[in-house]
Structure 1
Amino acid sequence: MADDLGLDLPNDLDAFIGNHFIYTYANGWRYEWYARNATTCDYRIHQGLVGGRWVTNQTMQLVQLAPGMYKADWHEPTGTCVSLYFDIGRRVVHGTIFFPQWIAGEGQHPEKTICYQNEFIADMNRFRDEGPAYPYVVIGEFAKITFMEQRGADNDDVINAAPGQLPDGFLDRTN
Structure 2
Amino acid sequence: MDKTFNTLDDFLGTHFIYTYDNGWEYEWYAKNDHTVDYRIHGGMFAGRWVKDQEANIVMLVPGIYKVAWTEPTGTDVALDFVPNEKKLNGTIFFPKWVQKHPEITVTFQNEHIDVMKAAREKYETYPKLVVPEFAHITYIGSAGQNNEDVISEAPYKELPNDIRAGKYFDKSYKRLNK
The count of corresponding residues between Structure 1 and Structure 2 is 161
SS of the aligned residue for 1:89 comes to helix
* Cα 1:61–1:68 shift into 2, 3 Å: same
* TM-score under structure 1 length normalisation: 0.87
- The aligned runs of 1:1-150 (5 Å cut-off) are 12-104=7-99, 108-150=100-142
How many angstroms does 1:131 deviate by?
A: 2.1
* Contact in 2 for aligned 1:146/1:173 (Cα 8 Å): no
* TM-score under structure 2 length normalisation: 0.86
How many angstroms does 1:117 deviate by?
A: 0.2
How many angstroms does 1:39 deviate by?
A: 0.4
RMSD: 1.8
Cα offsets for 1:114-136 (capped at 9, x unmatched): 00000001110111111210010
Residues 1:157 and 2:149 are matched in the alignment? yes
Query: Structure 1: which 5+ runs fail to align?
Result: 1-10
Query: Structure 2: which 5+ runs fail to align?
Result: 1-5, 167-178
* Cα 1:171–1:141 shift into 2, 3 Å: farther
| Moved segments of 4+, more than 3 Å | 165-168, 171-174
